[in-house]
A and B are shown apart, each in its own frame.
Chain A
Amino acid sequence: MDFIRNFPFFSILLPMISGPISSVMSGKQAKRLNFAVVTLSGLLSVAAFVYVLNTGEAFTYRMGAFPAPFGNEIRVGLLETMMAFFFCFVMLFSLIGGYRFTAVDIPEEKQNLYYIMMNLLLSSLLALIYTNDMFTGYVFIEINTISACGLIMVRGWGRNLLAAIKYMIMSLLGSGLVLISLSILYGITGHLLMEPMHEAIVQIMEQQTYREPLTVAVGLFCVGIAIKSALFPFHSWLPDAYGYSTCASSAILSSLVSKGYIFLLIKFFYRVIGTDIIHAIQVDDVLFVFGIAGMVFGSVSAIQQTDVSRMIAFSSVAQIGYIYMGFGLNTEAGMIASIFHILAHAAGKSMLFISLNSLSDGTWEYANYRKLRGAAYRHRIAALGFAIGSLSMVGIPLLAGFTSKVYYAKAAFGVGSTYKMLIALVALAISTILNAMYFIGQMINIYTPLGVEPEPGTVKHSNVTRVAVFMFIAVNFVLGMGSEPVFRWIQTGLAQFR
């Protein structure tokens, strides 16, 4: 067995161990350790990615003494390693971009705690990506929730605490539903590893026994994940949680945390239940409807906001709607579009949050629509980042957002039902125009000169922030212009799921 096969496991273990170690370090040391760990995990993922790309097939990696179907496993395929790398990348540059604000927002003595949470978050995200065992998935969902809660409330202001409580309640409700669903599934299949579960479920469907419990279980799982990833109408916790956190937290929460759950859902669809069974019990239609509703209402709510950070947060609701809409199409093309959209949205949204925080000086008083007027002249690079992020979200060609919209449109044509196709296309068009209304309006607002010199911000901008924004701009352009290999990798990765 090649040594490289251990890498994914290491990349999960590394942040998990460095978390407790951080607790005895000072804030600065913890930060350095955390940056190093994220970088290292990213590199390990790249190595694993190249390995899988070369061998051309996924492998499972046994954890503990017992072989399948009893023990615990992780599974390493092209899609998993790609996602793992991308998550590490986004996390690293979100942390770098938000570093100045982290230093200001969080008291010195609590900073190491922040990085403990960050380490745990990374570990749980990677575990959610790699796991081949549903119960391990559940465990890391919980760890993910706890660490995300920490990230939200670490700023320690009233609004953050309130947001964290809201998040905690909704999230625990979600994980509770997931747990119930897994219990039912375990009851009817007798397994927790994905492949044996899948085999059992296929049998169940053939024999038509336990069809109702199965439907209920799938439904509960979907609703649980939907709550946790803020699918409309379960999004009430999201705007406060994303909008009022410190810069790095907002960026990471919006671009990664919900996506980890969604990736588990993809695995659940493909590896546990099977897409044809999902179609047979019509879960995809339900997700489709809610996805479409999210696309439209998320944007409508975003238009109503005067606080720009809440506006961006609401736009996340719309983008999550896109992803679920792709699931609802329930074709290979739809799934590829959704996975691509996960990447595109992560690249765009984290950049938007970092840029906005730089423009608004990291305070929500300044994140108000009026106060932001002319902010572009305070921090030009951030303004550029905001503009490019906005254009990407609207779907201007050459940027990532446009490419994912094209993939969605192509997927819509491939779906069998004419109604679904038309609804999806119309929803895409409406949502695009709604996006344009608030993002472009905001862009113009930011670039409107006031005629007076803008006051310098209290947070000093460093080249580090600029580097982060530039990296995200580059990623947006790369995904927008050179999406072809990414597309192929996603396709291969999905094929390996079978």
Chain B
Amino acid sequence: MIGAWLLPITVVVPLLGAILLMTPVGRKGLRTVRLVTGAFVTATTILVIVVALLGENEIELFELLPDIPVFFRSDKTAVWFAVLTVAMWMTSTCFSFEYMNHEKREKRYCIFSMLALAALMGVCFSGNLVTTYLFYEMMTLASFPLVMHEQTKEAISAGITYLYYSLAGAFLGLIGVFFLYSFAEERSVPGGVIAYSAGGFLRDNLSSSESTALTIVVFFMLIGLGSKVGMYPLHGWLPKAHPVAPAPASALLSGNITKMGILFVIRVVFFAVGPDFLRGTWAQYALLGLALLTVFLGSMLAFREKVFKKRLAYSTVSQTSYVLVGLYLLAPVAAMGAFLHVIFHSITKNLLFLVAGAIIYRTGRTKVAQMKGIGLIMPITMICFTLGGLALVGIPPFSGFVSKWYLAAGALETDTGAMRYIVPVILIISALLTAGYLITMASDAFFVVDEHGGHGAAAPAAKKEDASENESGEADEPAEEEFPEIRAEDAGHEKEASPFILVPLVILAAGTLFFGLFPSLLTGWVEQILNAVF
């Protein structure tokens, strides 16, 4: 019983934290703000771990609409995403305590970060479609102020774009919810007729016109939910919005909030409509095609992009669609790949954005071209970056390899015609492009051309450079500044950031390696989910 009540409490705790910061407590100075934020995020983390250990629980809170309650359930999928969320939130929050020194209005950032956490907890533990939708909207509303945080013209326009794309996508989803409600099987279970059940809850005796209508609606619903994930054609907001946010927020947006879109897709495809309904329909192929197109497009655009954070955002567009490809193949092995890639990409992309943040924080450099040799002055940061890059490309023994293996193998196993060969091919091409845009950066960061060949000529230049970098670290718009090249002689001038920044980076980098070596820790859990669905 207590276990069931813990589910809404995971939503309430970060909410209380946010409310506490809005009261006079929040005016007592930055230390208190950080203390409160840290304490409440940690408390949420502990709660989620307890919930995960207690196993499956469910609770109906109150009837939002007649026959449709607000309903929470901690099934295995929910726990999977919830644990991921709190882990990412912990690292990013820890990072933000240092990083936000060079941003204004840290209190507001903390408030909305916790509100977003509350909404994400709601999305994770929601047990029926309407509850998910409810928190999904809350998540949009709580996260767009994070995008707008810097209040430059660019940030505000990006925030508004994000809002419109998200709302439009969510409303497409809502129409789908209405349809699913009217096609749901009559049953009396906790959570109402639209409570998730593994394998779907549709009526058996759908007439052919009804199932045609439903296919169309589900197709548009998934397109709409794809807006949060960044799937073509509703991906336009993502490369605009993710880079303009402060780095820890970009990390959460890219690493975690996109995953909530994926969770909603999983809930719709596997727990509401059911894979059997979609398998073999035109909708499946169309969605697969769009997801593959996004994978390719995202990698291509990332490859051509010159600004580091934007490059990472395009990479997110590409990588999250890997997950969608895995889901839309509607087969157990591919779905395993998708579930694993959720975790792996989340860790990796969080890491990469935090690296970008650390570099901006210490040197103010934002463009890829300015980062040549950066590994010489920030070695630990860039080693973490390299590990993350390798994982994202999918080189064994890093984690990305495992998920991509399952994705490719799963695709070949399915009965989807030409798609089954196209999927692995696109995956390989995209992995090559990923290597092109990440690994080249990593090598440039450590190996710089030693043109002058002597110490004497370069030494004065290095000193000058130090001075200019210190200034630029505090400047408002570092992108417009001229950054001198970093040369081999600068190796001694370390500019590594403080432990608040380094510890999350190292933990995340270790995570990419650890899960790559021991994926079996995770696969067992996913197998249990998938056995129920398929």
Contacts and interface: CB of A to CB of B under 8 A. Distances in A.
Contacts of A437: 164
B116 to A, nearest CB: 15
A487 B67 CA distance: 11
A17 to B, nearest CB: 41
Contacts of A487: 65-66
Contacts of B60: none
Contacts of A406: 65, 130, 178
Given A396-B141, A440-B167, A484 B63 contact: yes
Contacts of A338: none
B167 A429 contact: no
Which size bracket describes the interface of A in this complex?
A: 20 to 34
Interface stretch (B74-82, B168-176, B197-205, B268-276): B168-176
A449 B156 CA distance: 12
A450 to B, nearest CB: 11
B133 interface: yes
A432 B64 contact: no
A488 B168 CA distance: 31
Nearest to A486: B66
A461 interface: no
Contact of A444 (B156, B178, B182): B156
Contacts of A449: 151
B87 interface: no
Contact of A440 (B64, B133, B163): B163
Best-buried of A425, A480, A482, A484 by chain B (most CB within 10 Å): A484
B476 to A, nearest CB: 14
Best-buried of A396, A448, A482 by chain B (most CB within 10 Å): A396
Nearest to B70: A481
A397 interface: yes
A221 to B, nearest CB: 32
A482 B164 CA distance: 28
Contacts of B168: 433, 436
Contact of B65 (A396, A403, A432): A403
Contacts of A482: 62-63
Contact of A484 (B65, B160, B164): B65
Nearest to B141: A396
A437 B175 CA distance: 19
Nearest to B135: A397
B141 A391 contact: yes
A397 B135 CA distance: 8
Contacts of B485: none
A397 B130 contact: yes
Interface string A370-403: 0000000000000000000001001011100001
A429 B175 contact: yes
Contact of B181 (A410, A441, A448): A410
B134 A398 contact: yes
B137 interface: yes
B182 A413 contact: yes
Interface in A182-237: none
B178 A429 contact: no
Contact of B171 (A403, A432, A483): A432
Nearest to A433: B168
Nearest to A403: B65
A396 B172 CA distance: 14
Contact of B175 (A391, A425, A441): A425
Nearest to A407: B65
Given A425-B178, A444-B156, A397 B164 contact: no
A441 B160 contact: yes
A444 B65 contact: no
A409 interface: yes
A391 B151 CA distance: 22
Contacts of A444: 148, 156, 159-160
Interface in B153-189: 156, 159-160, 163-164, 167-168, 171-172, 174-175, 178-179, 181-182
B172 to A, nearest CB: 7
B141 A409 contact: no
A409 B173 CA distance: 13
Contacts of A441: 160
Interface in B47-66: 62-66
A394 to B, nearest CB: 8
B156 A436 contact: no
Contacts of B66: 483-484, 487-488
Interface of B: 62-66, 130, 133-134, 137-138, 141, 148, 151, 156, 159-160, 163-164, 167-168, 171-172, 174-175, 178-179, 181-182
**Top 4 A-B pairs, shortest CB-CB distance:** A397-B134, A409-B178, A413-B182, A436-B167
28 contacts: A396-B138, A396-B141, A397-B130, A397-B138, A398-B134, A406-B65, A406-B130, A406-B178, A407-B65, A409-B175, A410-B182, A412-B178, A413-B178, A413-B179, A413-B182, A425-B175, A429-B171, A429-B174, A429-B175, A433-B171, A440-B160, A441-B160, A449-B151, A481-B62, A483-B64, A483-B65, A484-B65, A484-B66
Given A410-B181, A441-B160, 19 more contacts: A394-B167, A397-B134, A397-B138, A398-B134, A406-B65, A407-B65, A410-B182, A412-B178, A425-B178, A429-B175, A433-B167, A433-B168, A433-B171, A436-B163, A440-B163, A440-B167, A444-B160, A484-B66, A488-B66
